[in-house]
Amino acid sequence: MFRKTVGLCIVLVLLLGALSPALAQEGKVVIRYANFTAGQDRAAELDQIIAAFEAEYPNIKIEPYNMPFGDYFTMLQADFAGGDPPDVFELNYENFVAFAANGVLLDLSAYVSEDAPYYPQALHAFQYEGKQYALPETFSTVVLFYNKDLFDQAGIDYPTAEWTWVDALETAKAIRALGPDIWGIYSPIQFWEFYKRAAQNNCQFFNEDKTETLINAPECVEALQTMVGLLEEDVMPDPAEQAGVSDSELFQAGRLGMQVTGIWMMPAYQEVPFNWDIQLEPGMATKAYHFFSNGIAVDINTEHPLEAAAWAQYMTSSKTAVDVRLAADWELPTLNDMSLFESYLAMTPPDNREVVFQSLEAPVPPPTIARQSEMQDIFDELFNAVIAGELDPETALNLAKERVDSLLTS
């Protein structure tokens, strides 16, 4: 349960003038702020941002609740059901639609000025039925990490931005040939990777009015088949061959040539005893890259909407929040000004950090529906059957279409 307390914030380029008079007239209030991105690792950085905010707005106190991601949405939903939600809270893009559709979010449209510095696509992503129900906070993407030393041992060229999955597979075979404990590549076979690979092959996930899925079309089946092909070619370990060792642990141990994973893994790889870098992920018929985004929303029934909105704006667009995040390598602010990211780009490894922003040229956000978690569970259940050899890709996607269509109409 989130307990009652205090809060308020600052606005960088947003409605500062409109908010300030009201704030000045308010007494000291507490804003309860629930989040899943700070956790234990970034609690100190969040406290630093809160301290700066409270120094600027001494009539407001922020009471943070740093929750583990695995429990966060269950607890958040329980607090809404119990009538005691936090005033301000983080939402990832995938869960945003469900909360917006349930009418529990405050419309923040009036608090966003036309010259707000947000990345336009991210700002639009947190709109529902034409209203701004959350402000974009951070983004992350997925790239191709690669072990340069293994590439050198195999005598092959490093990945390029023009690579397709055919190039990746042939390279993975050469790295796999280095030894029985060396694997060529790891690219997860699950919902999150599938919708992106499908987009790379011009597979349309839904029809235009989102009343039907189209994910058993030939382009979609081919996309899933290329993912499974990495197992069939023995360049990627199956669950039994991994023996409980994660793909990240394989990479850190120098036993994995390439890994498709998020930029959030960069801090974990800073001390590995080999050379590594990143590149844009391979494509198929076209290029498409993940775009994961977190936003900050406000409870529609908060007793302090101005203060709550101000804190949401401060966390998403203030210079203090930007500087603290970049210094800690703690997810990237969703702001459309590259000058803000100079310190981030200067950090090594990896040398090719510009790739993070190049991937924004062809973003593909997760497909979302009101019954999001049920849809994801359907795909992952069927994909696990494909990995186990119990279903072929076409049969799995035929079943997925049937089951997800029922979620759209029931």
Most confident of 35-39, 297-301, 317-321: 297-301
- Could you tell me if 8 and 62 are in contact, meaning their C-beta atoms sit under 8 angstroms apart? yes
Residue 24 has pLDDT above 80, yes or no: no
What Å distances lie between residue 338 and 139, 191, 235, 390, CA to CA?
A: 14, 31, 38, 48
Q: What is the per-residue pLDDT for 27?
A: 62
DSSP label of 332: E
Task: Report H helices in 162-237.
Answer: 165-176, 191-200, 218-232
User: What is the tens place of the pLDDT at every residue in 320-330?
Assistant: 999 999 888 88
Q: What is the per-residue pLDDT for 8?
A: 31
Residue 12 has pLDDT above 60, yes or no: no
- What percentage of the chain reaches a pLDDT higher than 90? 74
Residue 304 has pLDDT above 50, yes or no: yes
3-class secondary structure, 335:
strand
Strands 127-128 and 332-333: unpaired
User: What is the tens place of the pLDDT at every residue in 255-285?
Assistant: 999 999 999 899 899 999 999 999 999 999 9
Residue 300 has pLDDT above 50, yes or no: yes
Q: What is the per-residue pLDDT for 259?
A: 98
Q: Give the integer Cα–Cα distance in Å for 364 and 354.
A: 18
3-class secondary structure, 209:
coil
Q: What is the per-residue pLDDT for 343?
A: 87
- Could you tell me if 151 and 157 are in contact, meaning their C-beta atoms sit under 8 angstroms apart? yes
User: What is the tens place of the pLDDT at every residue in 198-256?
Assistant: 999 999 999 999 899 999 999 999 999 999 999 999 999 999 999 889 999 999 999 99
294 Cβ neighbours under 8 A, 6+ residues apart:
37, 90, 91, 92, 93, 136, 137, 138, 139, 331
- Could you tell me if 360 and 143 are in contact, meaning their C-beta atoms sit under 8 angstroms apart? no
Task: Report H helices in 26-115.
Answer: 43-56, 69-81, 93-101
Asked whether the CA dihedral 250, 256, 260, 266 is positive or negative, the reply is positive
**Banded model confidence at residue 379, pLDDT cuts 50, 70, 90:** very high
User: How long, in residues, is the chain?
Assistant: 410
- Could you tell me if 334 and 33 are in contact, meaning their C-beta atoms sit under 8 angstroms apart? no
Which residues of 244-357 form beta strands (DSSP E)?
A: 256-262, 276-279, 289-290, 292-298, 332-333
- ∠ CA(370), CA(94), CA(7), 5° rounding? 105
- The closest of 127, 8, 146, 92 to 295, measured between CA atoms, is 92
Q: Give the mean model confidence (pLDDT) for residues 65-90.
A: 94
Q: What is the per-residue pLDDT for 9?
A: 33
DSSP label of 283: B
Span of 106-110, 121-125, 398-402 with lowest mean pLDDT? 121-125
Q: What is the per-residue pLDDT for 113?
A: 66
Q: Give the mean model confidence (pLDDT) for residues 22-31.
A: 68
Query: Which pTM does this prediction carry?
Result: 0.81
Backbone angles phi, psi at 325, to 5 degrees: -65, -45
User: What is the tens place of the pLDDT at every residue in 340-349?
Assistant: 888 889 989 9
Q: Give the mean model confidence (pLDDT) for residues 302-327.
A: 93
CA 265 to chain centre: 12
Residue with tokens 């989102």: 210
Q: Give the mean model confidence (pLDDT) for residues 147-166.
A: 98
- Could you tell me if 42 and 330 are in contact, meaning their C-beta atoms sit under 8 angstroms apart? yes
Q: Give the integer Cα–Cα distance in Å for 41 and 254.
A: 25
Q: Give the mean model confidence (pLDDT) for residues 33-54.
A: 94
Q: What is the per-residue pLDDT for 404?
A: 97
Residue 380 has pLDDT above 70, yes or no: yes
264 Cβ neighbours under 8 A, 6+ residues apart:
140, 331
Q: What is the per-residue pLDDT for 2?
A: 42
Amino acid at 317: S
Task: Report cis status (omega within 30 of 0) of the bond before 333.
Answer: no
User: What is the tens place of the pLDDT at every residue in 173-190?
Assistant: 999 999 999 999 999 999
- What is the per-residue DSSP string for 104-143? -B---GGG--TT--B-HHHHHHTEETTEE-SEEEEEE-EE
Longest dimension (CA), the chain: 71
